[in-house]
């Protein structure tokens, strides 16, 4: 805390596969407000730290407090149920289970875990614990703070793992751009924070990026299932290149303009169908009916007609995620923000973490 009290300004930085997005939120009048933003594509072979430095030079943000995301494909988020046991037993059981879920030697990953719910109905959630679980730049597994209550039913542990080399890579980009890393989390958490917030309903989120789609099932504020599929908007562009013989730039422009890419013989069909299949799998992964709230976001969610197409395929309505729903946005930038709402979701979720920490402190 400085001489002038707590800083109420936060930067969310999303290193996407195709572009870097930055959002500055200021908490004032009891509400977060969008006070600055920046965006730049990352051309093949570009140095991400340099691209970020260039964005910040233009933006001139009023804070260096950065909240940063690792791509969902980089890490693993998994919910594991254990029978009731003591804290010491649980710590042992989690590290044993972690070996089964994590496909590389444990020395190569940062692992953290926390009890996020008790009971088979996931009735008790502990937001504070869930918060601890999100960090991936801690050096080792964080011990759980509170003793789980002894009672019937399961203990739900959320296990989070990210490769140390990826963490180090992102830390180096941040250092290069001279910002202070306040937290590094998997984008899965940023997406949930931006789109679900405190809502206790059942949500299926699909963040359709350039090269991958991150699919998350959330219930009562807890991530129940998460899967990353290696299909995104770039696959659709590639299909256009192949079908029409356009170069990548023209194919990209064509994709933005056309409204029939999901028609019966539409060129986007194959990629979107694969995304839909994964959404169906994750959405019903607990043997239950499809989630009530289906939200798509990411640049790929801007494809014309994709929301109604996915809705028809899954037999339910699909909403375009709106990360600005709980944020004050000035009229002067409202149209820009609206047009790019899918693009900024992760960055908004990250900056909102700063807001949440500020409000709690």
- When the beta carbons of 148 and 342 are compared against Mg ion, the nearer one is 342
Cβ–Cβ < 8 Å for 273, 313: yes
| Distance between CA atoms of residues 122 and 162, nearest Å | 25
Check binding of 19 to ligand ATP (CB under 6 A): yes
Nearer to ligand ATP, 113 or 344 (CB): 344
Cα three-residue angle 224-352-360, rounded to 5 degrees: 95
Q: Output 144 or 188, the one with its CB closest to ligand ATP.
A: 188
Min dist. Cβ of residue 19 to Mg ion (A): 8
Does residue number 202 form part of the binding site for ligand ATP (CB under 6 A)? no
Which range in 89-97, 144-152, 204-212, 281-289 contacts ligand ATP by CB under 6 A? 204-212
Tokens read off for 25: 């939120």
Q: Provide the CB-side half-sphere exposure for 160 (13 A, CA).
A: 31
- Is 323 a binding residue for Mg ion by CB under 5 A? The answer is no
Binding part of the chain for ligand ATP, among 74-82, 124-132, 203-211, 324-332 by CB under 6 A, reads 203-211
The stretches of the chain forming alpha helices (DSSP H) are 48-59, 87-101, 127-133, 164-176, 187-195, 233-244, 248-257, 269-283, 306-314, 331-339, 341-360
Segment interacting with Mg ion (CB under 5 A) among 122-130, 136-144, 163-171, 206-214: 206-214
Helix/strand/coil (H, E, C) string of 32-94?
Answer: EEEEEEEEEECCCCCCHHHHHHHHHHHHCCCCCEEEEEECHHHCEEEEEEEECCCHHHHHHHH
Residue among 272 and 291 whose Cβ is closer to ligand ATP: 272
Least spacing, CB of residue 349 vs Mg ion, in Å: 11
Q: Decide if 28 contacts 8 (C-beta within 8 A).
A: yes
Q: Judged by CB under 5 A, which of 72, 209, 266, 354 binds Mg ion?
A: 209
Q: Contacting ligand ATP (CB under 6 A), which of 97, 135, 252, 273? A: 252
Residue 302 binds to ligand ATP (criterion: CB under 6 A):
yes
Min dist CB 69 to ligand ATP, Å, is 9
Tell me how far, at minimum, the Cβ of 131 lies from ligand ATP, in Å: 23
Longest Cα–Cα distance of the chain, Å, equals: 64
- Return the residue of 233, 266, 321, 349 that touches ligand ATP, per CB under 6 A: 233
Q: Is the dihedral of CA 82, 84, 87, 92 positive or negative?
A: negative
Contact predicate 313/163, CB 8 Å: no
232 binds Mg ion (CB under 5 A): no
The CA angle 127-128-129, to the nearest 5 degrees, is: 90
User: Binding of ligand ATP at residue 12 (CB under 6 A)?
Assistant: no
Name the region of 300 (left: φ>0; alpha: ψ -120 to 50; beta: rest): alpha
Q: Is 349 in the site for ligand ATP (CB under 6 A)?
A: no
Find the part of the chain contacting Mg ion (CB under 5 A) among 16-24, 49-57, 231-239, 256-264.
16-24
Instruction: Please check whether residue 164 is in contact with residue 108, taking contact to mean a CB–CB distance below 8 angstroms.
Output: yes
Q: Which partner, ligand ATP, Mg ion, none, binds residue 18 by CB below 5 to 8 Å per kind?
A: ligand ATP
Establish if 283 lies at the interface with ligand ATP (CB under 6 A).
no
Q: Are 122 and 220 in contact (CB under 8 A)?
A: yes
CB 14, min distance to ligand ATP, A: 6
| Binding stretches for ligand ATP (CB under 6 A) | 16-19, 71, 209-212, 232-234, 237, 252, 255-256, 298-300, 302-303, 343
| Binding stretches for Mg ion (CB under 5 A) | 16, 209
């Amino acid at each position: 805390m400085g001489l002038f009290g707590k800083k109420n300004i936060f930067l969310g930085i999303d290193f996407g596969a195709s572009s870097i997005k930055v959002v500055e939120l200021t908490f004032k009048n009891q509400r977060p407000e969008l006070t600055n933003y920046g965006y730049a594509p990352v051309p093949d072979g570009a140095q991400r730290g340099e691209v970020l430095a260039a964005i910040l030079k233009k933006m001139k943000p009023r804070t260096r407090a950065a909240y940063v995301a690792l791509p969902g494909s980089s890490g693993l988020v998994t919910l594991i149920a254990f029978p009731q046991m003591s804290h010491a037993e649980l710590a042992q059981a989690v590290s044993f289970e972690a070996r089964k879920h994590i496909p590389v030697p444990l020395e190569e990953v940062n692992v953290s875990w926390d009890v996020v719910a008790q009971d088979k109905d996931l009735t008790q959630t502990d937001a504070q614990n869930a918060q601890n679980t999100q960090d991936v730049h801690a050096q080792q597994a964080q011990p759980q703070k509170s003793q789980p209550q002894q009672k019937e039913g399961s203990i739900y542990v959320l296990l989070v793992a990210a490769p140390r080399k990826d963490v180090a890579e992102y830390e180096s980009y941040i250092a290069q751009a001279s910002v202070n890393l306040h937290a590094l989390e998997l984008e899965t958490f940023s997406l949930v924070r931006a789109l679900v917030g405190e809502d206790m309903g059942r949500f299926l989120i699909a963040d359709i990026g350039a090269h991958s789609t991150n699919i998350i099932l959330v219930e009562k504020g807890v991530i129940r299932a998460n899967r990353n599929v290696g299909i995104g908007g770039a696959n659709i562009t590639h299909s256009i290149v192949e079908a029409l013989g356009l170069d990548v730039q023209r194919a990209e422009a064509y994709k933005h303009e056309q409204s029939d890419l999901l028609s019966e013989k539409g060129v986007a069909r194959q990629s979107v169908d694969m995304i839909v299949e994964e959404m169906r799998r994750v959405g019903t992964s607990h043997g239950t009916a499809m989630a009530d709230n289906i939200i798509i976001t990411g640049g790929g969610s801007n494809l014309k007609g994709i929301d109604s197409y996915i809705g028809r395929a899954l037999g339910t309505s699909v909403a375009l995620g709106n990360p600005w729903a709980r944020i004050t946005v000035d009229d002067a930038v409202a149209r820009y923000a609206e047009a790019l709402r899918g693009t900024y979701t992760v960055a908004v979720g990250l900056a909102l973490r700063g807001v949440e920490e500020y409000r709690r402190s």
